[in-house]
Structure 1
Amino acid sequence: MKIFLRQLSDPSHQTTICKTSTVVMNVVLGKANIFIKFPRRAAAVVEAKRLWSGRYRFPNAIGVIDCTHVRIPKFQEFGDEYINRKGYLSINVQATSNAQEVFTSVDCQWPGSVHDSRIFKNSNIYNILRNSTEECVLLGDDGYPISPWMMTPWRNSATQEQQNYNNIFCRERVIIERCFGQLKSRFPILQYKIRNKLDKIPSMIIACVVLHNIAKHLNDEDFDYSNEEANFEINGENNNLTSNMIHQLGQQKREIATQLLFNNHSRFQKYKS
């Protein structure tokens, strides 16, 4: 375990993973389903919403979502699909986290050039949320299309209600960026370039996420780190229920959330005065 942790925490020790490290990594990966769990069942969704409402204000939220890039070396057998919008080679890693800043899902199979919204649309959590009978949402930046299960900020917050919504939204969505920052600070190999075979890199990333969640479970001290990435690209991809219907339902839900948050804010201000 010491050898494996040293490889994850010290980028200068990135030699080819030895057999011992591979065994340890596989043991850690075997715990992934225990320590990385997205709320699927009704009881789990209710608990996730309870945790969120206990700390934050956004209604029916069960978590936040975003992507972060992990640098990789050049592989001769692959083309430019791994070059991201910032011009370097990477894997685009999607993750969600809950109110306790614990990762609840991770998807690290996509080249750096793939847009965040496409990764989400093809992910397991997309299908879970779309088929869920529970009232719940994720918070994502405006690189994601709005839907009944994905709330995004108002692009042009013209009213006081929309400005209030965006202020609350941004304060709460930043949780995922903080989680990425803590993860990369805890395991610096994710900040630098993972020098390994491409088919091994996703396993290393998932192992880091598992160990991060275990550290959270054990109340290990968090690392302060300001995540440098924020994706504000716009992409028009949507689902086939008809994209217009999904978009309209998402807008309706955002309108309701906007008014609810503003009403609560107004009552609080009145109480203070």
Structure 2
Amino acid sequence: MFNYEVRARKTYKQRRQNPPERDFIRLYRFTSENVMWMAEHFLGTSNETRGGSLDSFTKMKIFLRYAADPGFQTGVAEDIGVSQPAVSYTIKCVAQKIMNKAHIWIRFPQDNEAIQEEKQRWLRRYNFPTAIGAIDCTLIRIKKIHVNRHGNEYICRKQFPALNVQATCNAEEYFTSVSAEWPGSVHDSRIWRNSSVCRVFRTFNNAVLLGDQGYGIEKCLMIPYRNPATPREEAFNNLLKRERVIIERCFGQLKQRFPTLQNIIRLRLLVIPSFIAACFVLHNVAKYLKDEAVLEEENNDNDNDDDNLDEEDNNDPAQEVQRREGQRKRNELTEIMFQNI
């Protein structure tokens, strides 16, 4: 017969007393009320603790404490009062539970009505015509990958192992898509071309995302002129660069709330993409819950990103068609913008 008392001793350690709310926010990056709400929403209501089981609130705290702590799982285990294996297993399970409801929280517009709503939302705050949001990639550090054939693929341009994570956001600083499975050496434009967002968005007309030189120009993705030669082109570049910074701000808020994304994620490689994407989901949840306590305390810093990359060379004829259509679209928007200056 299985000895539940032995299992409980292995799972639990002596716990810390409940911290004051201010300390709770520093430890878990959300208010205690919002952590309880997220636990019920993503994990369901469970107070079962027999045989060493963890209740939903404790599971969510473990996930958030790891996301908030740039250290090791052993430190999280000491903070919560559980064993390190319990921390590892819980992080994986909670990430998967969050991803099961990711479609509720991260949604890219799928039809003309949604596209029009996003364009109107953008113009209420910004000025770039036909824009619905911004796009960029950010590097997330991971442990060194000991894979004989593929380990070097994870070494990014800054010479450390990473995943190159692509995301889009809208005018209200919600993430509308995230792709977190690509090795750090993969170019931004390749991630874009292979994304579901690209396949969907290319079917629409008269709507664009704002990107940087890491992407190639096309009719639905605007990037700056490489060498602006006229006042019109200068005006276009200035407006695009000023407004696409919103995606940098979103990345900064994300990494500020979850500092482990600024350091090194020490998880198994197969778990890391879902963990990262789950943090993106919780960013949107924080917006929905108006939980901004962490953002008010600390500086917004996102130093992993670089918008000075050159466009990836590509001799694909289909890509050349996209490039010409994008250049034509950019020239049209430049004329419209110059008339309104």
Q: Same fold (TM over 0.5)?
A: yes
1:120 alignment counterpart: 192
- Equivalent position of 1:184 in the other structure: 255
Identity, in percent, stands at 49
Distance 2:70 2:322 in 1: 44
Residue correspondence of structure 1 range 181-220 to structure 2 within 5 A: 181-220=252-291
Q: Which residue is 1:245 aligned to?
A: 321
1:24 maps to 2:94: yes
Question: How far apart are 1:24 and its partner, in Å?
Answer: 2.5
TM-score, length-scaled by structure 2: 0.74
- RMSD between aligned residues: 1.5
Q: Distance in 2 between matches of 1:2 and 1:189?
A: 15
Q: Secondary structure at the match of 1:11?
A: coil
Q: For residues 244 and 199 of structure 1, what CA distance do their matches in structure 2 show?
A: 35
**1:69-128, Cα deviation, whole Å (9 max, x unpaired):** 000111212421100011000000000000011100000111000000001011101101
Q: How far 1:207 sits from its partner (Å)?
A: 0.8
Answer whether contact 1:59 1:257 (CA < 8 A) is retained.
yes
Q: Displacement of 1:157 after TM fit?
A: 1.5
Q: How many angstroms apart in 1 are the aligned matches of 2:315 and 2:207? A: 19
2:71 aligned counterpart, secondary structure: helix
SS at 1:64's partner residue? strand
TM-score of the superposition, structure 1-length normalised?
0.92
Unpaired runs of 5+ residues, structure 2, are 1-59, 75-84
Retained in 2: the 8 A contact 1:183–1:209? yes
Task: Give the number of the structure with larger relative contact order, counting CA–CA contacts within 8 Å between residues 6 or more apart.
Answer: 1
Contact 2:73 2:88 in 1 (8 A): no
Alignment-mate amino acid for residue 57 of structure 1 = N
Q: Report the alpha carbon displacement of residue 239 of structure 1 after superposing the two structures with TM.
A: 6.2
Q: 1:222-242 CA distances to partner (integer Å, 9 max, x unpaired)?
A: 6241322123222123765x3
Going from structure 1 to structure 2, the CA distance change for 1:213 and 1:238 (only over 3 Å counts) comes to farther
Query: What CA distance in whole angstroms lies between the structure 2 residues aligned with 1:131 and 1:82?
Result: 32
The correspondence of residues 121-200 of structure 1 with structure 2, limited to 5 A, is 121-132=193-204, 134-200=205-271
Counterpart in the other structure of 1:54: 124
Give the structure 1 partner of residue 334 of structure 2: 258
Indicate whether 1:226 and 2:226 are aligned. Answer: no
Q: Secondary structure at the match of 1:163?
A: helix
Matching residue of 1:64: 134
In structure 2, the partner of 1:98 is 170
In structure 2, what is the Cα distance between the partners aligned to 1:20 and 1:159?
Answer: 57
Distance (whole Å) between structure 1 residues aligned to residue 338 and residue 237 of structure 2:
11
Letter aligned with residue 302 of structure 2: N
Inter-partner Cα distance in structure 1 for 2:93 and 2:276: 16
Q: Give the stretch that moved more between structures: 176-185 or 221-230.
A: 221-230
Is 2:184 the partner of 1:107?
no
**Range moving further from structure 2, 196-205 or 73-82:** 73-82
CA contact (8 A) 1:121 1:238 kept: no
- Over residues 186-241 of structure 1, what are the superposed CA-to-partner deviations in whole Å (9 max), with x where a residue is unaligned? 0001000000100000011011001110001112216241322123222123765x
Indicate the SS of the match to 1:199. Answer: coil
Structure 1 5/238 Cα, relative in aligned 2: closer, same or farther at 3 Å? farther
Corresponding position of 1:88? 160
> What code does the residue aligned with 2:212 have?
D
- In structure 2, the residue matched to 1:236 is 313
Alignment coverage as a number of residue pairs = 263
8 Å contact kept, 1:6–1:13:
no
Take 1:218 and 1:197, find their aligned partners in 2: how far apart are those partners?
A: 31
Residue identity opposite 1:86 in structure 2: K
- Indicate the structure (1 or 2) with the bigger Cα radius of gyration: 2
Give the whole-Å Cα distance in 2 for the aligned partners of 1:128 and 1:255: 24
For structure 1, the residue ranges without an aligned partner over 5 or more in a row are: 266-273
Quick one: distance in 2 between partners of 1:21 and 1:198? 13
Query: Who is 1:268 aligned against?
Result: none
Structure 1 stretches of 4+ with a deviation exceeding 4 A read none
